[in-house]
Structure 1
Amino acid sequence: MSVSGKTVVIAGATSAAGLAVAQSLIAGGARVIATGRSAERLAPLADAGTQTEIADATSLEAMTALAARLGPVDGVLPLVGGWRGGGGLAGQSDDDLAALLPAFAAVRATSRAFDAVLRASDAGRFAIVSSTAVARPLAGGANYASVKAASETWARAVAQGFTKAARDAGEPLRAASVVFRAKGALEPDLLARSVVRLWDSAANGLNDQIIDLAG
């Protein structure tokens, strides 16, 4: 298998990581749909050859409408992110938590909206970007690590759902949900290479895996 010929959605794609992933997928022969809330911020992705869609990745309604418009999809990667931290445990403010929660909302919305189409694909892939902070949370990053832990839990539940659906249907597992863990600042090119490789492995060896992004 390879990513060539696959259709991949990058939801919340207007970061440097989103552009790097889109470029690598296109170079591998994939069709890429990139979403964001600003046409101006989506312009570099359009210039790179992606199909751009103005849509809120944190909205189940918007993602469900997008899924209905696109038809068959082979991969979904929510990339809504951000960092708030510092100040020890006492510095973990409600405002900072509120600013981080959209990342979790995007994981929930995209996975729910595209669940059926990913299961219908011959090689459906759902992937999120998390952090090694989940394994070693610090007081000054408790909000951040908590949101990432919640996102990982959700992605693992998606993996179980893929397994159960295949088993109930008496079919081989074709869809996989994985977690990428970055240490420190996310390296866009490293993430891009790792995303492209998701279609190099069969789903039964990939589903519910945590993949460390290490240089």
Structure 2
Amino acid sequence: MTSVAVVVTRSQTSAGVSAGGSDGGSSLLSLLVLPAAIVTFVAFLVGTGYVAKRAGLFEPIEQAAPDPPDSGVGDGESDRSGAGGSGGSEGPAVGGELFPVWDVVIDDVIGRAAESRRTATEDILITKHVDPDTLAQPMVAYEIESLWDEPVTVRLSEPLAGSGIPDEAIGRLGKGWQVLDGRILYEVELEPEGTARTVVARSDRSPDEIETLLAKPRVTVEQ
């Protein structure tokens, strides 16, 4: 009985030693593989960085952007071409187009108009919008639409409340208005089926003369 017990004990001891040796081998293999993986990863990062640098990916954005074109305006000069400006030394442009600021005024007068009225004469549609009391004098905005299929010159006129009123008293806000023989006159050239807008301050009329301000203007058309 005693000898059998000894044999069993030695067998268990041998098995334990064998198992311990296997575990030790696995641990050693893990220690060798980990540094190799780290070295491989670092080499990958270094290689990627080198390629990116050669490709110019690390250059500043300012270097990659092109230089802005020369505007031709000196440091001591300012751009005079703004709302209603021609950009030159001659001041605001006075062509067929309204000054942008007066286009805003027209929108405002139309939006505040107490009453509007549309009439038609010689294939010309005219809509008048009267804002009688927002400003110091009544404001009348005109929307003119041509139904002609060829260019025409349109002239419209309104009677003044008094005579001898200078242009400045009428408050002309766009090209085309003038005072002549006790009337205010407006002239505009329209393209086929073209449109135009204008506005005038009627300092010769009072705010309660809305019907007079809405009256149909005298219209002539010239081809």
- TM-score of the alignment, normalized to the shorter chain, above 0.5: no
Bigger strand share: 2
**Higher RCO by CA contacts (8 Å cutoff, separation 6 or greater):** 1
TM-score (norm 2): 0.23
* Bigger-Rg structure (1/2): 2
Bigger helix share: 1
TM-score (norm 1): 0.23
